[in-house]
Amino acid sequence: MSTTIQLPTQGGRLETFRLSAPKDFPRHAATPFNRIAYSAAHVVADPEADIDPWLDCAIDWDATIAYRHHLWHLGLGVAEAMDTAQRGMGLDWPTSLELIRRSIDAARDVPGALVASGAGTDHLAPDDAASVDDVIRAYEEQVGAIEKLGGRIILMASRALARVARSAADYERVYDRILSQVRAPVIIHWLGDMFDPALAGYWGSADAGAAMEVALGVINAHAAKVDGVKISLLDKDAEVTMRRRLARGVRMYTGDDFNYAELIAGDAHGHSDALLGIFDAIAPAASAALGALAAGDRATFDAILEPTVPLSRHIFKAPTRFYKTGVVFMAYLNGLQSHFTMVGGQHSARSLPHLAELFRLADRAGLLADPARAISRMKTVLALHGIEG
């Protein structure tokens, strides 16, 4: 089969693109990593379900859990029911809880498999939240449900809290209450408004420095109940600053999908672990790179991850909240699901030129495992947009 394809450009023309040979990344992690690495994982929609896709949520459970096994075999943990799984953008709380239950059950059959699950307040509509007490009760309900399943907690940012909080003290009150009750140390997730505009001004301030002071105060006051903090601000300097001020034993999990390689590698003062949406899309490369880093081979780590950064920056370009479309498209191109359909109809959130550029960048990173299959699937998408050939 030909390794060329006609792809659209930003100017509306078609150009011939020739695929390169894919890189031979291992399908299983060869050695333990010296970083904790979670991939926030996407869900596979059920395209045959007779539902209204913008209103209802139907999951292909077998394909979704199979994808988690793919990540576990590569040595990556699964950050479950997070924004990569379209939490708050098509995935509701009841379905999230079922997803968490199924992932925890599946992980029991995989030695060393890590699962940490998102607990938030998304069953409480922000407009229905009248007080901070409403937010506390919503957090308690989700944390309790996940802990009942034996799950580890990722404490997600709350749209409802962002709406009702009037000061930093309101954030301190909520987190103090929840952290005082959790059974095991949690990962706190600070998600920037580029990922979710409803979270603007989180921690009580639109100024990132002032917000960081509040977050650090909460985390360091409860260090025994905090495994780590994941910040998704796409600001490497802010992450490094915060990392150096965390209490001893509290990890920094990078959520920076623009600068993850250098943050994971670290510096003389420390490094970040990882909890990344992009690891879903580049899982084989991430696994190989982390294996090299654990073996002391920084040059190979850099050589593997460097070509993935332009791909990640493209997938996460503004509006960043639509990055899930690119993540699922990568899974489709690589045969990890049989279709390019998403919960909430989000497969329509990115343009055809965006998907075409993603295809080019994935090839340059060596991440199209089977070029013939990738071409065939890309041609199907092109045909649906009226481009035949």
* Confidence band for 12, pLDDT divided at 50, 70 and 90: confident
Lookup result for tokens 């896709």:
53
Q: How many CB atoms lie within 10 A of CB 342?
A: 25
Query: Cβ contacts of residue 43 below 8 Å, gap of 6+?
Result: 59, 64, 85, 86, 91, 99, 343
Taking all residues of the chain, what is their mean pLDDT, rounded to a whole number?
96
Which DSSP string do the residues of 48-77 spell out, in sequence order?
T--S-TTT---B-HHHHHHHHHHHHHTT-E
Give me the domains of the chain, ranges plus CATH numbers: 32-345 (3.20.20.70)
Single pTM value for the model = 0.96
Q: What is the pLDDT of residue 30?
A: 82
Q: What pLDDT is attached to residue 14? A: 95
Q: What DSSP designation does 21 have?
A: P
Asked if 3 and 47 touch (Cβ cutoff 8 Å), the reply is no
Two structure tokens written together for 111: 């030695």
For residue 147, give Cα distances in angstroms to 36, 55, 57, 158, 159: 21, 29, 24, 19, 22
Report the pLDDT averaged over residues 301-308: 98
CB-based contact 81:43 (threshold 8 Å): no
- CA-to-CA distance for 26 and 290, rounded, in angstroms? 12
Cβ pair 232, 274 in contact under 8 A: no
Q: What is the pLDDT of residues 34-53, one digit of tens each?
A: 999 999 999 999 999 999 98
Name, in order, each residue with C-beta under 8 angstroms of 260's C-beta and a sequence gap of 6 or more.
254, 274, 276, 278, 305, 309, 312
How many CA atoms within 13 Å lie on the side-chain side of 321?
A: 15
CA angle 355, 193, 231 (to 5 degrees): 95
Cα separation, 341 vs 352, whole angstroms:
15
Concatenate the DSSP letters of all residues of 157-176 into one string.
Answer: --HHHHHH--SHHHHHHHHH
The rounded percent of the chain whose pLDDT value lies above 70 is 99
Q: What is the pLDDT of residue 389?
A: 65
Instruction: Tell how strand 14-18 and strand 4-8 pair up.
Output: antiparallel
The pLDDT score that the predictor gives to residue 10 is 81
pLDDT single digits (tens) 68-90: 999 999 999 999 999 999 999 99
Reported confidence tier of residue 388, pLDDT bands at 50, 70, 90: confident
